[in-house]
Structure 1
């Protein structure tokens, strides 16, 4: 098991129980005590947990806290891959799409890189890099300019200005948090502004967010839950949270991270047709 996979499992255990013990992780991961301790030190250094004697504790995340791309990339890998695979099924040859920055949308890009004749608008240097290295020659990539955030998003007035004259079929957006009252949010004010500009230029908003994002509220809201045409998440969501989301979003797609296939889907049969952007 790779270090990134081990650390993702550690964070998954921590998010469920709030605490982990070295002895339990040694048994769960099938590695040495020393390997587990090195992983805990690395995660503590990235601010993802608090290392204590014999294990680690979850850390409370302030609304303005913004982990970097590398720190987020080791979290909930299996869930993100399953969400990305489901989202990729909504992308077809000839579409023009926008893709936000984030580790889940980065995974989505790896799934759609071989779809021909795509036009992809993005403010993510990682997304643009994947398409540059592995994308089809017929794919067109429009990378916005702007200031670079800790999560490697390009944001601010330059990014927003570059989006004003564009129109895309769908916007695939990753989020920091989702909540009934706060909607979809991020800790970065400029990233929120840039994502709102992408929403305005898109016919459909497709949100890709793993279940740990539920109940998390970032500093700035980007959109209300009802603005999402589709929300793709994983089966770690509680029944109560799933019901709340199904009541607000156009369609809720829940994937099983063990099978990489949709586990459930709740469509709003009374939803109005999409209007052109």
Structure 2
């Protein structure tokens, strides 16, 4: 295969996926790892992509390696989050044993909850306060309190989760990728999310459109492990990967 043809195919794949990985390109283009690395170095040099460890990303797409404070995140995409949260709240039924992950969209969901004949467990401080104020039976995980997101993380939180089996779970995410799944910048938070997700019969990811094609440092679930609740998407790319509810 000619060099120019490889470059064209790499950029086409990058346009679709937002991120490419050396090992995947080696298989796709049936060439050596050293050749792919030379291709990525060249395309990075001429400004066609951004080279990162193990692959490359679109120039306008960088890995998200930090969490914004709750006070900042609460101001972003409010109408989308409200629509998503309001719909998600209707999915809770009598006798459900529900996990609510810490997050701004899950917090908004809590405002719309009406089912009192259910049990709620959360690792979010603000969410726990809201649930209590509404008179719901509420449990909160033990562990370390993370300042920026007000989430409870750590070994104690994971040990507590191992006792539970949830009928439904509602999770926030910082990124959604068809290759890297659901991601978050903080490894400790990812471990808690991963454990809770694995113990949930019917898990939902609550995500506005800004979270799609974004990748953070730590994966806590594969794309097909949960149903995504979002607003109207611009394309059908993710519909082939998992169930999506557009509200």
Scaled to the shorter chain, the TM-score interval is 0.7 to 0.9
Whole-Å Cα distance in 1 between the matches of residues 67 and 61 of structure 2? 13
Partner of 1:234: 231
- What are the within-5 Å matches in structure 2 for residues 1-277 of structure 1? 62-112=63-113, 114-133=114-133, 135-136=134-135, 139-149=136-146, 150-228=148-226, 230-235=227-232, 237-239=233-235, 243-249=236-242, 251-255=243-247
Using a 3 Å threshold, how does the CA distance of structure 1 residues 145 and 61 change in structure 2: closer, same or farther? farther
* Contact 2:63–2:214, Cα closer than 8 Å, also in 1: no
* Contact 1:94–1:116, Cα closer than 8 Å, also in 2: no
Whole-Å Cα distance in 2 between the matches of residues 211 and 75 of structure 1? 11
Shift of 1:116: 1.3
* Contact 1:175–1:184, Cα closer than 8 Å, also in 2: yes
Shift of 1:61: 6.0
Shift of 1:62: 4.7
Moved over 6 A (4+): none
Q: What's the TM-score, normalizing by structure 1?
A: 0.65
Shift of 1:111: 0.7
CA displacement 1:170-206 (0-9 Å, x = unmatched): 1100100101111100001000000011012111111
What's the C-alpha RMSD, in Å, of the aligned pairs? 1.4
Question: Residue 183 of structure 2: SS of its match in structure 1?
Answer: strand
Q: Give ranges in structure 1 of 5+ residues lacking alignment.
A: 1-58, 256-277
Whole-Å Cα distance in 2 between the matches of residues 225 and 179 of structure 1? 7
Q: What's the TM-score, normalizing by structure 2?
A: 0.73
User: Which structure has the larger Rg?
Assistant: 2
Shift of 1:147: 1.5
Using a 3 Å threshold, how does the CA distance of structure 1 residues 123 and 61 change in structure 2: closer, same or farther? farther
Question: Residue 166 of structure 1: SS of its match in structure 2?
Answer: coil
Question: Residue 204 of structure 1: SS of its match in structure 2?
Answer: strand
Q: Give ranges in structure 2 of 5+ residues lacking alignment.
A: 1-59
Whole-Å Cα distance in 2 between the matches of residues 119 and 162 of structure 1? 15
